[in-house]
Amino acid sequence: MNGVLLEVKDLKTRFRSRGGLVYAVNGVSFHVKRGETLGVVGESGCGKSVTMLSLLRLLPPAARVESGSALFEGQDLLKMNYRQIQKVRGGKIGLIFQDPMTSFNPVLTIGDQVGEALIYHRHASKEVALKRAIELLQLVGIPDPEQRIKDFPHQFSGGMRQRAMIAMALACEPDLIIADEPTTALDVTIQAQIVELVKGLRDRLGVAIIWITHDLSLVAGLADRIMVMYAGMIVEEAKTEEIFDDPRHPYTLGLLSALPAFQAEKKVRRLASIPGSPPDLRAQPISCPFYLRCSYSIDRCCLEMPALQTVRNGKENDHRIACFVNIHERSTVA
Amino acid sequence: MTMKPKPLIRVTNLVKYFPVRLGAYGEKKATVHAVDNISFEIQAGETMGLVGESGCGKSTAGFSLLQLHRPSSGKCYYRDVDLTSLSQNQLRPYRQKIQIIFQDPYSTLNPRMTIGAAISEPILAHRLADRKTVMSRVITLLNDVGLSEKAVNRYPHEFSGGQRQRICIARALACDPEFIVCDEPISALDVSIQAQIINLLQDLQEKYNLTYLFIAHDLSVVRHISNRVGVMYLGRMAEMGEKEMIFAEPKHPYTQALLSAVPVPNPHIEKNRQRQVLSGDVPSAIEPPSGCHFHPRCPVAFDDCKIVAPAWRRIEDGRWVACHKV
């Protein structure tokens, strides 16, 4: 059960733009085990979505994967031809997008769209696909699914559409689901519904999940492991508990202390904030991307790029950071 | 009872309905009950938080209060002046004192106006300075919000989201306001930038003795910044009170569910937490449910809730709630 399902090595993705190349993903390596939930956290533009789109080769025409490999069940996703990758998309890997309002085709019924993957991947007949679509909608908690499969997307509310999208992603019993900010467009009470639903489905079906989000608190209860990204790099990766209890990268520490909820108990007047703003990705990265905003930075940070290194070996997961400084030592000295 | 100081802002029985047309040809008339009879007061120098899910009318409440939407009925007082009774011309002098910061700093700045022009426009319009002296005022404002004076001749596209929000704040401050409606001022920004803007708003409040109505859907932000909090659901106020009381002891079942839905940044708590998850969606404001608007999703609803709308009543000093079960 504990085999590695997906292993990404040194992925680099660039965009062509009028202002020159945009270095969106700069050497990202990670893995996902079977049945595991990986949380990917970062601000907008940090490359978290582009990383996942690169894997499924869904990038816009201006983008190109420069180098890297992505082994999924022993096969390199990045080297597959069109037919092979089509088999993976929606087959072995399901996708849930951020915006349930625009991700459905408005002129097809929900039933057609949920069942489509079965017709395509499993060569099911239309009747079988619709029957299965009803089961799937029932699974994700849509009341009265026999009637609702005849509805069009505009007749569904945001939360319902997101449920339908989850049903669509589950249609072919994938081994991995990539969820790209699936609750960002939803209200908190609906977000709570979707999170509980996904947790329940994961425990029942044993599917691995990559959950992309900008909200650290959201993945606290959901992910087994968390990966923090900044400027197209992984800056820290560890078991969820370790990220929250013992963050080692200054950026993770900054993100956590900037959360108002984190400080609610302490009754502070001012929030700890990270000064400055994220770097311009049009410059080729040669130094630590965070050093200008970092209060721990040393001379070396602006000369070299820190590699992702293990700082603590865990039983199952190592704690890795990309930083030259040990923030614990620094804080005792300073 | 001690005499309370007079509130700076007083809203009584505010109602805002929007007429809409439905159907493919607009043949069906309907009414969106955006804000349905809400009342509250804001004291000078305090921050009142207004929370609720999208479509609950919290922004409409803010806009109606500023007369950006004319309310359907109800009164909005600034000091002793009823803003709803004034014409657009009569309102103009009050507009200096009541300002707004919008949610999206990308669409609220004119892309063809320099930052200097954008910030000086309200100052010139209210004749608080002439063209010769206005620039020194603009530079003071830019410094107040943490931007350099070089920004004066630059255009909005040269700035990041956080910087643009700082510019919008500078523009809102331009005419020395007393009261600012902050309509989700940080929801379009990244997490690491949000904290900067919250700190800035708090610093400015101390410096200029500002009063805020802080509208947001993010409960942890409201908890941090507000003195008092009002919780809205589908156009009506569900609960209002001191921040500590609302968060420590929510009385209304909707407030309880809302607080329970917010994830906590602590995996030890979060992984074992029993959430009270509300079923169903927020109903449409075109045909809100009868009686208490919350009854179809309420875990403690009983028969009365379907028929009678609960009264907005004071249960203790400064604590208001609208629920039959409380």
pLDDT tens by residue, A288-301 = 999 889 988 888 89
pLDDT of residue B2: 52
Nearest CA in chain B to A280: B160
3 state DSSP class of A127: helix
Res A89 pLDDT > 60: yes
The tens digit of pLDDT for each residue in B136-180 reads 999 999 999 999 999 999 999 999 889 999 999 999 999 999 999
Mean pLDDT of chain A: 89
pLDDT of residue B294: 94
pLDDT of residue B278: 86
A19 interfacial to chain B (CB closer than 8 Å):
no
- Which of A259, A235, A279 lies closest to A29 in space, CA to CA? A235
A128 interfacial to chain B (CB closer than 8 Å):
no
Contacts (Cβ under 8 Å, ≥6 apart) of B214: B47, B48, B49, B50, B182, B185, B222, B225, B226
Name the percent of chain A lying above pLDDT 90.
58
pLDDT of residue A327: 81
pLDDT of residue A330: 58
pLDDT of residue A271: 82
Residue from the list A218, A269, A278 with its beta carbon closest to the beta carbon of B202: A269
- Using CA atoms, how far apart are residues B175 and B99, in angstroms rounded to an integer? 9
A227 interfacial to chain B (CB closer than 8 Å):
no
pTM score, two decimals? 0.87
Residue from the list B192, B194, B277 with its beta carbon closest to the beta carbon of A193: B277
Tokens 């709570």, residue located: A192
Q: Which two tokens stand for residue B114?
A: 């320099």
The tens digit of pLDDT for each residue in A6-28 reads 999 999 999 998 888 999 999 99
Average pLDDT over residues A104-117: 92
Q: Which two tokens stand for residue B97?
A: 């004192």
Best of A142, A144, A188 to substitute, by most chain B Cβ atoms within 10 angstroms, is A188
Question: A273 and B192: CB-CB below 8 Å?
Answer: yes
Higher pLDDT, B280 or A109: A109
pLDDT of residue A274: 87
**H-assigned helices in A171-239:** 188-205, 216-220
pLDDT of residue B1: 46
User: Which residues of chain B fall short of a pLDDT of 50?
Assistant: 1
pLDDT of residue A334: 32
Question: Is there a contact between A46 and A213 (Cβ–Cβ < 8 Å)?
Answer: no
3 state DSSP class of A99: coil
Res A111 pLDDT > 50: yes
Question: B223 and A274: CB-CB below 8 Å?
Answer: no
Q: Which positions in chain A touch B193 (Cβ < 8 Å)?
A: 277
Band of residue A158 on the pLDDT scale cut at 50, 70, 90: confident
Nearest CA in chain B to A185: B54
Distance to chain A for B100, nearest Cα, Å: 22
